[in-house]
Amino acid sequence: MSDSKRIKTALISVYHKDGLDAIVKKLHEEGVELLSTGGTQRFILGLGVPCRAVEDVTGYPSILGGRVKTLHPKVFGGILGRRDDVDDRAQMVEYDIEDIDLVIVDLYPFVQTVASGAAEADIIEKIDIGGISLIRAAAKNYNDVVIVASAAQYQPLADILEKRGAITTLEERRWFAKEAFAVSSDYDTSIFNWFDGDEHSAFRASITGSKQLRYGENPHQKGVFYGDFEGMFDQLHGKEVSYNNLLDIHAAVELIDEFDDTTFAVLKHNNACGVATRPTLLEAWTDALAGDPVSAFGGVLITNRPIDRQTAEEISKIFFEVVIAPDYDVDALEILGQKKNRIILVRKETEKPRWQFRSVLDGVLVQEKDLYVETAEDCKPVTTTLPTDSQVEDMLFANKIVKHSKSNAIVLARNGQLLASGVGQTSRVDALKQAIQKARSFGFSLDGAVMASDAFFPFGDCVQLAHEAGITAVIQPGGSVRDNESVDYCNANGVAMVMTGIRHFRH
């Protein structure tokens, strides 16, 4: 079997024609005979390039409203026929089937049609039959046939034509086949998920695009990111983003999206170690850093405002891995870019998925993302001492942070600033003790501060410990059979408590 194959005949039938003209002209220059259908044939003829209609090959017109155009033995035989198989060659001669060496085809825009809110009948008509069949047939016979299954492969084909003319290697054809099956599997996944709706009868996920990482969570582990990182961020500076960077970047984005006012957050190992909301960005940064200047070392910084020169100068006084913002002033970028490896990201406006999944045992856990954001209306007072407006504001601030902290988690805050948090503890009282100790170690008084918990208090010991440390208001989901212990203690000691009924576990 010869490794290199010359393209003599090409079948082209595409929905999107942008960028196709140069390839068509080059194929014609190389003496390749072109076959096509309907609008694609008219497009090719409009370029002044000869093109036979598929109908002339099959002897059948396009029928059933265009649903059947290429589904014919003379088309699929020409694609699937094995050039080095004696029996195949004999049958192709017997039935007058011509070889087709190159197939350029794309698929109806099913996903875009669904996203447009189109009627079901219109969506059904965008389920491609002929195109997907051509893709699979040509990809299966990659030993002899080149398949270009989307506009994303136009440039690789153009590069081959420019470099070597209408000749391809087996390695190249196999690569095109691999890309083609990626297209077809992604397309079928979208169709299945549309039909399946909210039934969740089977897990099907398709993510196009991948990014090889230096390693996984640890250097001895391989790591790959599947997704469109460049669609979410512009990386302006720094080294390649790592597996652990991506985990922290994800956590940072999820957290900052809780805030509308000017906010700065510092994260380490997926948890916030500093958060502050302030009138100016410089104030927000200064108070966020004050929350835990030790853990901020090597952390990920994120803000929801463009970074100016003055803030950049202060940020640059510490070592950090990543900074994320919607934009940067030119002089701020010059300052931040002085460290060679510092990763500087501009976040783009993108829609985030509504569902999340993770591998567990031999399967996958899937759930809706925790998108619930409590408001003042959710804060149901359960004590005789009612919280003030400023306490409610601080409790909602703290609740946003505890929602994005590893359970068991406690957050202590005051005046729009994270004072300390206790995260990832096996008991809630240990999480509180950790938070109190951290706050005191950085010189914070907890007098008048508020406490947020990601889940209910199983006993009354946490509110007692918090009150003794200076906490005057508590926000928690409630739901413990011993809620009365916590409420009774608060009533006896003038502590305000609200319950939201919303738990925010995070593992």
What is the C-alpha R_g of the chain?
31
- How far apart are the C-alpha atoms of 188 and 283, rounded to whole Å? 51
Q: What are the helix (H) ranges across 316-460?
A: 330-336, 389-403, 428-441
DSSP state of 298: T
- By DSSP bridging, strand 5-6 and strand 167-168 are antiparallel
Answer whether 22's CB lies under 8 Å from 30's CB.
Answer: no
- How far apart are the C-alpha atoms of 276 and 293, rounded to whole Å? 13
> Which of 30, 68, 47, 180 is CA-nearest to residue 10?
30
- How far apart are the C-alpha atoms of 75 and 73, rounded to whole Å? 5
Answer whether 99's CB lies under 8 Å from 75's CB.
Answer: no
- How far apart are the C-alpha atoms of 166 and 156, rounded to whole Å? 13
Catalytic residue among 8, 25, 250, 269: 269
- How far apart are the C-alpha atoms of 483 and 490, rounded to whole Å? 11
> CA dihedral in degrees (275, 276, 277, 282; nearest 10)?
-120
Answer whether 138's CB lies under 8 Å from 157's CB.
Answer: no
Catalytic residue among 8, 140, 211, 339: 140
User: Structure tokens of 83?
Assistant: 């050039």
Q: Which helix (H) or strand (E) holds 357?
A: strand 355-360
Phi and psi of 451, rounded to 5°?
-125, 135
**269 catalytic, yes or no?**
yes
Question: Is 227 strand, coil or helix?
Answer: coil
- How far apart are the C-alpha atoms of 151 and 495, rounded to whole Å? 64
Answer whether 318's CB lies under 8 Å from 289's CB.
Answer: yes
- How far apart are the C-alpha atoms of 223 and 252, rounded to whole Å? 20
DSSP state of 9: E
Residue 224 buriedness (CB in 10 A; 0-12 / 13-18 / 19+): exposed
- Between the alpha carbon of residue 95 and those of residues 56, 77, 78, 92, the distances in Å are 15, 9, 11, 5
**140 catalytic, yes or no?**
yes
Q: Is the peptide bond before 484 cis (omega within 30 degrees of 0)?
A: no
List the catalytic residues.
Answer: 140, 269
